Structure 1
């Protein structure tokens, strides 16, 4: 199992896409919209500090715990893309398609906003879930 904590408020990819005159989306590397690229690089840096093994080639069960400073979190489904792109950018996997399934949990932590990433090799772990009536 690999567990990494990324400090700070999670960053969503959808807020930083720009379109050119032909309608093609792109991510700017400079200026006010470059925060997403910096966030991807920050995730990659934290992962590279924690993991020094070989590139993982199998699928990984991925658990993302998003801790926001307040209830203004936007669409929770836009956050995994930025996080998964950062994981891929770190080089510990070849492609973010390996991150499946992805479970997303959101919480409020005013004092310590962060993202906790847990990665489990599919060959070593299995996932089960239970949904029960309250």
Structure 2
């Protein structure tokens, strides 16, 4: 199991897409809308600081715990793309298609917004879940 902590508020990819005159979406690499690319690099940098092992092969069970400073988090389903792109950019995996399944949990931590990424090699770990009535 590999656990990576990335400090700061999670950033959603959907907020930074631009549309060209032909209706195609693209991600700017510079200028005021380039914050997303910088965020991918931030995630990759934290992974490279906290993990020095070999590149992971095969499918990876991925758990994302997103800690927001308040309830204004937006659509939680938009966050995994930016995080998974950053994981791939780090070189810890070859392709973000390896990250499956991906479980997403949201939390509030006013003092310490962050992302906690847990990676488990699927050939070494099994996943199960249970839903119980309260």
Counterpart residue number, 2:34: 34
Unaligned 5+ residue runs, structure 2? none
Counterpart residue number, 2:99: 99
* 1:31 Cα deviation after fit: 1.6
Counterpart residue number, 2:53: 53
- What is the RMSD computed on CA atoms of the aligned residues? 0.7
Task: Kindly report which structure 2 residues correspond to 1:5-16, keeping only aligned pairs within 5 A, or say none.
Answer: 5-16=5-16
SS at 1:39 equivalent: helix
TM, length-normalised to structure 2? 0.98
* 1:29 Cα deviation after fit: 1.1
Cα deviations by residue, 1:67-119 (Å, 9 ceiling, x for unpaired): 00110000000000000000000011111010010000000111000000000
CA distance in 2, matches of 1:29, 1:118: 28
CA distance in 1, matches of 2:108, 2:53: 33
CA distance in 1, matches of 2:5, 2:51: 12
TM, length-normalised to structure 1? 0.98
Runs of 4+ in 1 over 6 A off after TM superposition: none
Task: Kindly report which structure 2 residues correspond to 1:1-134, keeping only aligned pairs within 5 A, or say none.
Answer: 1-134=1-134
Cα deviations by residue, 1:37-89 (Å, 9 ceiling, x for unpaired): 00000000011111222211111100000000110000000000000000000
* 1:24 Cα deviation after fit: 1.2
CA distance in 1, matches of 2:65, 2:118: 8
